[in-house]
Amino acid sequence: MWYKHRKLWITLIISLTVIVIAFIGAGMYFFNVACVPGHKSFISSNTQVVKKSDPLYQEKIWYKNASKQNWKMKSSDNKYLLDANYIPSSNSKKTVVVLHGYMNNKDTMGPYAAMFHSLGYNVLMPDARAHGNSQGKYIGYGWVEKSDVKKWINRLTKQNPKNKIVIFGVSMGGATAMMTSGEKLPHQVKAVVEDCGYSNVKNEIEHEAQDLYHMPTFPRFPLVEILSGINKTKVGYFLKDGSSVKQLKKNKLPILFIHGQKDTFVPTKMVYENYHAANSPKQLWVVKGAAHAKSLQTHPKQYKDHVQKFLQKYVQEYK
């Protein structure tokens, strides 16, 4: 009897051990998918071919031919060398920092650079760590990168103390912009424009687990929790701590929220969470018919008009 009971306990312990190891292995797999740079099957490739049928054809050609300065800077933790393009605008004392999305790079933001340059802004376009020509081991989803953005801003203010600075980003860049807005920033930073950024890193990864992998509540929980623990060990924060909402509550800067009505990658409902969290002057534009990160492409003229009117209210040239 005792022997049979002992066998049952051994079998149970072995089974639980196998299950735990399996979940940890699955957690590591999804950490590599989500947080380690490389080819992602769920991200469409960024083709460099520019077609005349593209509604942003002129902007892309402008960026391709624009005279760019290449800037280098050490990351905020001094681990990695970061890369950026800087496009000056003649005698302008207004600068926008343009932040790209997940597994994109500065060159994919060419149409936005063209738009801001046409509005009289110098344009700084960094590659986030682990993206483009910037070094890095892991993707921080904006929570780590916000300190790098702050360092880029400090470089701009050192270059020209009279700079008036705007932070702009799309998708992960939009989340990075919101997360940066809650930091202590130089007084030269005057406004933020974010396009389709998520409310929280954990919420976004849980959404993608459900949307891309059709993963039910179990095993989504505990897999995301395991991934979060791995992220804490390797990247330095738990996923739930990577919160745009938390940072927006501390933000004092005017902010324009833009989000596509048909966004399923970062669900449109997230923009309302972000908008309601902000206590500063704010505007919201939900773009009719626009999918994820396609608001400019869907309504180019209206997009520029919204951004221009918002910034005219809060950013003026020094006399």
Under the banding of pLDDT at 50, 70 and 90, the label for residue 48 is: low
Assess whether pLDDT exceeds 70 at residue 318.
Answer: no
Query: pTM value?
Result: 0.93
Structural domains in the chain, CATH included, are 1-36+201-237 (no CATH), 57-199+242-319 (3.40.50.1820)
What average pLDDT score do residues 88-103 get?
96
Give tens-digit pLDDT for 156-194: 999 999 999 999 999 999 999 999 999 999 999 999 999
Instruction: Summarize pLDDT for 63-90 with one digit per residue, the tens.
Output: 999 999 999 999 999 999 999 999 999 9
Chain segment 242-298, per-residue pLDDT in tens: 999 999 999 999 999 999 999 999 999 999 999 999 999 999 999 999 999 999 999
Q: What is the mean pLDDT of residues 135-143?
A: 98
The full 3-state SS of the chain, as one line of letters, equals CHHHHHHHHHHHHHHHHHHHHHHHHHHHHHHHHHHCCCCCCCCCCCCCCCCCCCCCHHHHHHHHHCCCEEEEEECCCCCCEEEEEEECCCCCCEEEEEECCCCCCHHHHHHHHHHHHHCCCEEEEECCCCCCCCCCCCCCCCCCHHHHHHHHHHHHHHHCCCCEEEEEEECHHHHHHHHHHCCCCCCCEEEEEEECCCCEHHHHHHHHHHHHHCCCHHHHHHHHHHHHHHHHHHCCCCHHHCEHHHHHCCCCCCEEEEEECCCCCCCCHHHHHHHHHCCCCEEEEEECCCCCCCHHHHCHHHHHHHHHHHHHHHCCCCC
Percent of the chain scoring above 70 in pLDDT: 94
